[in-house]
Amino acid sequence: MASVETMTALSPAAVNSASLPLLDPRAPVGIFDSGLGGLSVLRAVRAQLPDEALVYVADSLYAPYGERDDDFIADRTLAIGEWLVAQGAKALVVACNTATAQSIALVREKLPIQLIGVEPGVKPAAQQSKTRVAGVLATRVTLRSARFQDLLERYASDCRFLCQPGLGLVEAVERCDIGSAELRALLQSYLQPMLDAGADTLVLGCTHYPFLDAAIRDIVGDRLALIDTSIAIARQLERVLDQQGLRSPARDASPQPRFCSTSDGAHLKQLAATLLDIDAPVERVHIPSRRTLTPDSHAA
């Protein structure tokens, strides 16, 4: 994998291909995130694999995941994975660092399709930082997860990582705020200490954050190289589909994604139109799960 690529590719090897059901290469790929951030992954997947049909689920009713407990995140990830399997998905991209960190191992055991997860690009940051100081912006759940701590242990021996929870950033993107004065002030408060400490690299450890790249650039200029996960994830998906003989045959035109949201979907529609230039309807879907069956679960 080229050094500019972002994530450590998460091996799909835990799935025994002999146990996979007979899948149709024309079936869709499921992509899921707690909310709108996974659209940054969907954008890269469409660019890399234009013939693939895609079903995107935004669990916006329960976003952000970054402040939820581990069991809640695993519960939602499994329920949405099962729902996507029922919709005929041939593979699942967990386009959420937080859900990957907390639940991919468990969910992988339970679903009969290949899962591709994401994790912050600590490895490429360690490879390319010249000052040997790199910032990591990610959710609090991702930063405290055992999976992320393992990553740091592997790559932080000669590179200092400044880990900053991006409190408030997911919420901003969820309301389609990618450049307000308040958001810029928040970003400044997270990024200035990294600049002051001599960082030259910034890991965008949450799939929502690539949508903040212009606001980040306005603050840091060229002083930080931004490490984004999306292109590497798309390439990993391509490898997995090839290994399984599940690449879609060529189509006359790139199919329009099917967009689904557990909330009203208005912001999903807006962000897809303004940032991805995709004007598609959004279906409101109800995906029950053990932890969301109680009436007050919105505040869980």
The set of catalytic residues is 96, 206
- Which one, of 141, 213, 222, lies nearest residue 184 by Cα? 213
* Per-position DSSP letters for 137-173, written without gaps between them: EE-HHHHHSHHHHHHHHHH-SSSEEEEEE-TTHHHHH
Minimal CB distance to ligand DGL: which residue?
Answer: 66
The answer to the question of residue 208 lying near ligand DGL (CB under 6 A) is: yes
Beta strand 201-204 with 160-165 is unpaired
Q: By rule CB under 6 A, what count of residues binds ligand DGL? A: 17
Name the one range near ligand DGL by CB under 6 A: 31-39, 144-152, 175-183, 187-195: 31-39
Q: Which residues contact 224 (CB under 8 A, 6 or more apart)?
A: 135, 191, 194, 195, 199, 200, 201, 202, 216
State the Rg of the chain over Cα: 18
Q: Which span sits near ligand DGL by CB under 6 A: 32-40, 124-132, 217-225, 258-266?
A: 32-40
65 binds ligand DGL (CB under 6 A): yes
Shortest CB 24 distance to ligand DGL, Å: 29
Regarding 31 and contact with ligand DGL (CB under 6 A), the answer is: no
Handedness of CA 93, 95, 100, 102 (dihedral sign): negative
Q: How many helices (H) and strands (E) does the chain have?
A: 11, 10
* Residues forming a β-bridge with 158: none
| Of positions 55, 94, 206, 220, contacts ligand DGL by CB under 6 A | 206
Site string for ligand DGL, 135-154 (x = CB under 6 A): ----x--x------------
3-state secondary structure of 272: helix
CB of 99 to ligand DGL, least distance (A): 7
Residue 143 corresponds to which tokens in the numbers above?
Answer: 């930063």
Closest to ligand DGL by CB, 24 or 150: 150
Q: Please, which of residues 37-56 interact with ligand DGL by CB under 6 A?
A: 37
Of the pair 31, 246, the CB lying nearest ligand DGL is at 31
Asked if residue 114 binds ligand DGL (CB under 6 A), the reply is no
Q: Give the binding site for ligand DGL (CB under 6 A).
A: 33-35, 37, 63-66, 96-98, 139, 142, 170, 206-208
